[in-house]
Structure 1
Amino acid sequence: MSDSSSIGAIETRIRELVHDYVGVNGTDAPITPALRPMFHTVVDQALASSEGGKRLRALLTLDAYDVLAGAPDSTQSRSVRTKVLDFACAIEVFQTAALVHDDLIDDSDLRRGKPSAHCALTSFAGARSIGRGLGLMLGDMLATACTLIMEDASTGMVEHRRLVEAFLSMQHDVEVGQVLDLAIERMPLDDPQALAEASLDVFRWKTASYTTIAPLMLAFLASGMTSEAANLHCHAIGLPLGQAFQLADDLLDVTGSSRSTGKPVGGDIREGKRTVLLADAMMLGTAAQRVQLQQLYEQPFRSDAQVHETIALFHDTGAIEHSHERIAKLWSQTQESIEAMGLTAAQSQSLRKACERFLPDFTAER
């Protein structure tokens, strides 16, 4: 597994696919000349928003397929591998669509260290309402594009219908997850156990569904695994891995830096987001610390000083360490599920290494 060469191929193919599926194919004739500059700006932003990222989802799709299918040794198998690359890129294009919408919902100014899509489009349009509207439509265009990419790439394959159904199911799960993510923000803070359980459930719908479960599902189906077996194994491996990945991401929000994340440190705290980390801090903290946290989160916004105060409470209550323990437990479940597949030792090791990319700070041997 060569990350650098694989990522290069993924980046190149994503640019080609976004250009072909988001733009107007063939000619601009149907678009009135006076309106073309704004349309071209939106297409350019689709390309810009699609750049960067670790491509973890695409890499997992390709590596999981390679583990089961082996090296392409014929024209037919190389053709299938090319299709799987497009599956992998379709997931990444979907992620871009989700992030564009996510930044609109959260009113985030930055994404991967650059202005978020709606902010960049607002600068071009000169009006916030138009910029936000363009951002909304950009997310929709990318969501449509990724579906068409998946449909076209899987055409002619034995599992064509099941592959498309799995991809559409992934999209539906993320949409449900986004609704639940907004619903959780209305939860009171007087039952931290319920908040932790609800947050982990959101991770299943909003994160694991397209981050780990769908990449495995598409790879397993493309390799010839039955639908029943693919569904069983992708959930057993992908669900705990996706939840652990989101827990690690939430930790990075309070222990990382803007340079490493491309977003302001403590962004979730500033937004007042209900997280597992917050729930753990309230469960583990003293009565005084719980009151302090509740007062901080009940305010309409939190200053820089209050963000640092909250981070200190996460440390002092033991919530940070408890998140590490949660991640370790979930990672153990993923490893056990890989072993349960009955693969060869070499295959199991390769699949485990592909999954380790999601938790580099938690799976390295100590």
Structure 2
Amino acid sequence: MTSPLEVAGLRPRVDKALTDFLAGQRDRLLAIDPALAEVAATLTDFVLGGGKRLRPAFGYWGFRGAGGDDTDEVVAALASLELVQASALIHDDLMDRSDTRRGVPSVHRRFAGLHAGQGWRGSADGFGECAAVLLGDLALVWSDELLHTSGMPWPDLARARPVFDAMRTEVTVGQYLDVLTPVTGDTSLERAGKVAQYKAAKYTVERPLLLGAALAGAGPEVSAAYSAFGLPLGEAFQLRDDVLGVFGDPAQTGKPAGDDLREGKRTYLVASAFGVLGAAERAELDAALGDPGLDDAGVQRLRGLIRDCGALAATEARIEELMAGSLDALDRAPIEEEARAVLHRLADAATRRSV
């Protein structure tokens, strides 16, 4: 069966829109200064080098479900979501001090390596960090440009603009809450849920759906149905990501095993463990979380604590609960049947990733 990401030839069409746009941006940068070739190459490699294109897919089928006609212009407009994603990931890797992304050096590590290889002055790590901030910012700037140069009619773009703006604000403040939570020591499920919602859930599913609906000129009934479907699905997607961050295979995740534990992420999974562990084990978990030197044995120990106390099972149950509510809302949504069927499959693809 064809992947839901490939229906209507969507994935290669998104990749083509991104390739064409990035080629134009490369020419612009090289006209400014040849030294910017590495900036252009890095962003091109990062954007085109991986990713499932889930966000454009949800946006596209949100658009089609609301009665929008298939055009290359709408595909280009929704491809802008991949540049928002690139910005978030580049900044996230920097904040988490992650060495790799999708099995290759993260952007700040790539530029640190460039600095060291060229024998430049000053701190290689400092240069890499500065470059990652700026490249993440540039990807966000370019997301705006791709949306507005997509060829979609201006009235459609005007309807979509508030959704796009709200999405980018939400993911940015969600990232802040994500770095705030470990330093305050907040281990509540309430805070973990809010971080999951704003850091990833809304901009992964709900906002792309609403962006597609706005581009199609959908009414409030469709938008409300998309929120009822998209928000719990996005949260389930993030919880699955949290499970993979602790129990996932590095060959699948592209990041070292247990990185979320070394980074001290207070996810729903971790908050669930804090809620049921005894005092001694809770203190052990709290002391080890965020330790960048946590070795493989330490990772295995924390995995055992989280699994054996029932937190992993509780998180899996929460994913199932969220999925049930999401799919029920989708079944009742007043949208086109082809889109409903593909959105069902996209929901499964987003949350059934193997650990």
Aligned length: 342
For residue 158 of structure 2, the aligned residue among 161, 185, 210 is 161
Q: Which residue number in structure 1 is paired with residue 96 of structure 2?
A: 106
- Greater shift after overlay, 179-188 or 237-246? 179-188
Deviations 1:119-171 (A, max 9, x none): 11121122222222122111111110001111222652433212122111111
Deviation at 1:262, TM superposition (A): 0.3
* Higher normalized contact order (CA 8 Å, seq sep 6+, divided by chain length): 2
Runs of 5+ unmatched residues, structure 1: 71-76
Do structure 1's residue 225 and structure 2's residue 210 form an aligned pair? no
Deviation at 1:285, TM superposition (A): 2.6
**Separation of aligned partners in 1, 2:338 and 2:290:** 52
Do structure 1's residue 337 and structure 2's residue 329 form an aligned pair? yes
Q: Which residue number in structure 2 is paired with residue 205 of structure 1?
A: 198
Deviations 1:242-298 (A, max 9, x none): 110010011112222110110011101111221111111122233443233233337
Q: Which residue number in structure 1 is paired with residue 107 of structure 2?
A: 117
**Separation of aligned partners in 1, 2:72 and 2:320:** 35
SS of match in other structure, 2:149? helix
Do structure 1's residue 351 and structure 2's residue 343 form an aligned pair? yes
SS of match in other structure, 2:203? helix
Do structure 1's residue 93 and structure 2's residue 83 form an aligned pair? yes
Deviation at 1:83, TM superposition (A): 2.1
TM-score (norm 1): 0.86
SS of match in other structure, 2:183? coil
Runs of 5+ unmatched residues, structure 2: 117-123
**Separation of aligned partners in 1, 2:259 and 2:353:** 21
Q: What amino acid maps onto 1:88 in structure 2?
A: L
* 1:265-284 equivalences in 2 (<5 Å): 265-284=257-276
**Separation of aligned partners in 1, 2:326 and 2:250:** 30
SS of match in other structure, 1:159? helix
Deviations 1:307-329 (A, max 9, x none): 11000111110111101100011
Q: What amino acid maps onto 2:132 in structure 1?
A: G
Q: What amino acid maps onto 1:69 in structure 2?
A: G
- Greater shift after overlay, 259-268 or 293-302? 293-302
Deviation at 1:202, TM superposition (A): 1.0
The answer as to whether partners of 2:263 and 2:289 remain within 8 angstroms in 1 is no
- Greater shift after overlay, 296-305 or 330-339? 296-305
* 1:154-303 equivalences in 2 (<5 Å): 155-188=152-185, 192=187, 195-226=188-219, 228-297=220-289, 301-303=293-295
**Separation of aligned partners in 2, 1:114 and 1:132:** 17
Do structure 1's residue 69 and structure 2's residue 59 form an aligned pair? no
The answer as to whether partners of 1:174 and 1:205 remain within 8 angstroms in 2 is yes
Do structure 1's residue 320 and structure 2's residue 312 form an aligned pair? yes
Q: What amino acid maps onto 1:114 in structure 2?
A: V
The answer as to whether partners of 2:65 and 2:337 remain within 8 angstroms in 1 is no
Q: State the identity as a percent.
A: 28
Deviations 1:204-231 (A, max 9, x none): 11102211112101111223312x3354
The answer as to whether partners of 2:261 and 2:290 remain within 8 angstroms in 1 is no
Q: Which residue number in structure 1 is paired with residue 28 of structure 2?
A: 24
The answer as to whether partners of 1:67 and 1:351 remain within 8 angstroms in 2 is no
SS of match in other structure, 2:218? coil
**Separation of aligned partners in 2, 1:167 and 1:124:** 34
